[in-house]
Structure 1
C-alpha cells in the first residue's frame, strides 16, 4: 500500500514545478520533501524523478501514480461533500479566487447572501487573475475560482476541473474625450479611428491582452500600448482623463451609468464569458453549491441594475 501523504507530495510537485515551491506551499523544509519522495520511490520500486539541470521532472511511472492520486483525492472530496451534506449547518472555510472586476461587482453581494444564509461559513477571498488562479485551484490552494473567457480565446479545460457559466459580460470600446466621435460610427471604423491614440491594456501573457491585440490587428493597426496593468479601474481612470483608449467590460461600472463614451465592438467580439470553476468531485459540496447559488443571485441583481 502506497503512502497517500507521499503521493500527494508527488502530485504537488507536478503542479508546482519545483521542490522549493512544494516546500513553501506546505510549510516543509525542501530536504523533508526530497526525503519523503525518496521514500516513495523505495515503496514503488521504480525511479520517480529525474534531474533536468537544477530541477527535477516526473518520470513516466510518476505520471501514472499522479493520475491515480488525482482519482483518489477526487473520491475523498466526494466523501467530504457527503459528510457536509449530512450536517444541518455549513461550517469551515471556503477559499475563493476572483479576477478584479468580478470581485468588485459580484463578490460583496455574494458575501452578503452567504452571511445571511450561512453565518458559520468562513469565506476567504483572494483577488487573482485566472492565469494564476486556475493552476492554484488544481494545486488545491482554492476551492472555487471566478474566471473569464474572451471571444475567440477559449481557455484550456483540464479534465479535473468543472466549469459552470455565470454570466455574459458586455465588452466595449472606451474612447478618451479627445477622440469622442459620432455615436453612429461603424464598429470597425470607430476602432480604426484610435490607431494613433495611446492605449491601456492588460500585461502581455494575459488572455485579455491577446484578445485586445488581435482585435486591433484585425482592424489593421498595431496599438500604441503605453500603459499596462491588470487594474481595470486604472484603465477607466486613464480613459476618463483622456490619456488612453481601452476595452472595458460592463462589470467595471458595477451597475452604474458609464462615465466615458462607449462604442460597439465588431460582431462576435461583444461579450466575454464569466464562469465559476471547481475541482471535479468538489461540486456536490454544500458550501460550493451555496456559493454558486449566491453568485448566480448576485449576477442576476447586477444584470437588473445594469
Structure 2
C-alpha cells in the first residue's frame, strides 16, 4: 500500500483510488509523472515554476489545480506562501508540495495507517471525497493563524490605550503585513474552486454536482476566512489611526509645554540683557535692594504671562 518510489514520493492504493503525495518534487519526479499518467508538459512545468492559484482542465481527462497555503516564519515574524499542486483524475489524486506541511503530513499518515479513514474517503468510484477532505484540511490550516492574528490585535488595543505608544508602531505594521499576506493567499480560493466546479459540470471527472453541498461548504470556509481578514484589516487600520492620534496629541502637548517655557522666559532674558548693559543711568541700579527689585519684576512678568496663557486657554 505504501510505495516509496523515491524519497519524496509516497503512494496509497485503496480499491479504485490511487493517492500519490510528492514532497519537494524534482524534475525527475515530473518526468515520471509525465510518463506514467501522460500529463501535459505545461502542467508539469507549472508544478516546478508557478506560484499562484489556478485550475485547468486537460482534454476532459484530469484537472490541474494549484492552491496556496500560508507558512509562518517565526524568526522573521512574516507569512510566506507555498503552493500545493493537485492532479485530479477519475481514479487518482496526486498532491505535490514543497514544504512538509503538518496537517497535510498528518492527513496522509492517517490515510496510510487507518483503514476506517480510507473506507470513508477513498471508497467511492471517484476521489471526490478525498479531494474535498484535502482542500478542507488546507482551509482549516488558515484558522489558527487567524485566531493568533485576532489575539495579537486585541493585545495591541490594550497596549495602545494603556501605555507608551511609539514602541507599538512596529508591531502594528507587522500585523498589518501579516493580514495583507493572508488576504492575498485566501482571495483566489473562491474563484479557483468556482472554476473547478464549472469545469466539472462539463467534464464530470469528480461529479461535484452530485455532492455540491460538500464543495459549497468549502466556499463557506473561504467566506468565513475572508470576512475575518476584512474585520482584522479594518481593526488594524483603526488601531494605527488611534495610535497616530495619541502620539500626535502627546507630541502636541510636549511642543506646547516647550513653547510656553520659551515664551515665558523670553521677557526675563530681555530684562537680564537690558540690566546687564552697564549703562550709567540704568534704572534701579545702585538703589537699595536693586537685585530683588529686578527679580520681582521678572517674576511679575512670568506670572502675568502664565495668567494670560490660562485666560486664552493655551495651556492646561
**Higher share of residues assigned strand:** 1
Q: TM-score, normalised by structure 2?
A: 0.22
**Higher Rg:** 2
TM-score calculated relative to the size of structure 1: 0.23
Q: Which has a greater percent of helix? A: 2
